[in-house]
Structure 1
């Protein structure tokens, strides 16, 4: 069994990951313009990816929807830029290896043996996001 994710540790594949609750298949494209999993749920202008299992796990755990969290290996079809939602705002530099793109990303695989964050850590993060929502702060500035 896999261990809980380690912050800032690049996934052993070295590839890009995307955490969500969407049920996808190899070859599917994730494209900007779909409903965001976060904040008010408006149309997302970007697709977000990371190279750390920790960040992808947060994505899978916190995504909107009722299905199970999923983490996909993805391949960008265009240029990536640092995700300004975390780069230099929450962490100096980009230790979460978080990026975004206006181009589609293609699903090339799924990580099925990941382990989520401890329940108390997940509850604290959800409480923090709920507090931000009450303050009218969008979780993602797109």
Structure 2
């Protein structure tokens, strides 16, 4: 039986990961001011990434669209800051190692063979996010 990625476990020190359903190639750049992976009514002014496989898997598995989830090793081209959506609201001190940048992020390579969250966990997370949206508590600090 395959297990889900461990929360807060750093994939590899110094390596940043980005989860999405977009098909990308090494050298491609993720740029700010694109539609959110999660809300089609919001263009994001930052690119978000993490150092944990668990958070990258959430990004890949929860992204909008019908494609397969992908996780990419990425390299920021500018300043990096803690993601305030996670660190200020839910996990002070940034144990999820979640970050963002207002500058492009370059794709280094696709991460192969990763194990994601179970279908049950993904469904529960989707339901929780939908409830937040219904209640008007789905604000994204961008």
TM-score above 0.5, yes or no: yes
Q: C-alpha distance in 2, partners of 1:20/1:139?
A: 20
Aligned to 2:10: 10
Q: Secondary structure at the match of 2:84?
A: coil
Q: Tell me how many residue pairs correspond in the alignment.
A: 142
TM-score by length of 2: 0.93
Q: Which residue of 1 aligns with 2:111?
A: 111
Q: 2 CA distance for matches of 1:2 and 1:16?
A: 23
- State the distance in 1 between where 2:41 and 2:95 align: 26
TM-score (norm 1): 0.93
Counterpart-to-counterpart distance in 1, 2:110 and 2:138:
29
Task: Report the equivalent of 1:31.
Answer: 31
Q: Does residue 78 of the first structure (1) align with residue 87 of the second (2)?
A: no
Unpaired runs of 5+ in structure 2? Answer: none
More deviation in 10-19 or 91-100? 10-19
Q: In 2 relative to 1, CA 2–110 (structure 1 residues): closer, same or farther, beyond 3 Å?
A: farther
CA separation in 1, counterparts of 2:2 and 2:124?
Answer: 23
- Cα deviation for residue 51 of structure 1 reads 0.3
> Structure 1: which 5+ runs fail to align?
none
Please say if residues 38 and 64 of structure 2, whose CA atoms lie closer than 8 Å, have aligned partners that are also in contact: yes
Matches within 5 A, 1:121-136: 121-136=121-136
Distance 1:41 1:96 in 2: 26
Closer, same or farther in 2 for the Cα pair 1:2/1:76, shift >3 Å?
farther
CA RMSD of aligned residues (A): 1.7
Distance in 2 (CA, whole Å) between partners of 1:53 and 1:16 is: 9
Residue aligning to 2:44:
44
Kindly provide the CA deviation profile for residues 94-139 of structure 1, in whole angstroms up to 9, marking residues without a partner as x: 0000000000000001112111112221111010011011122335
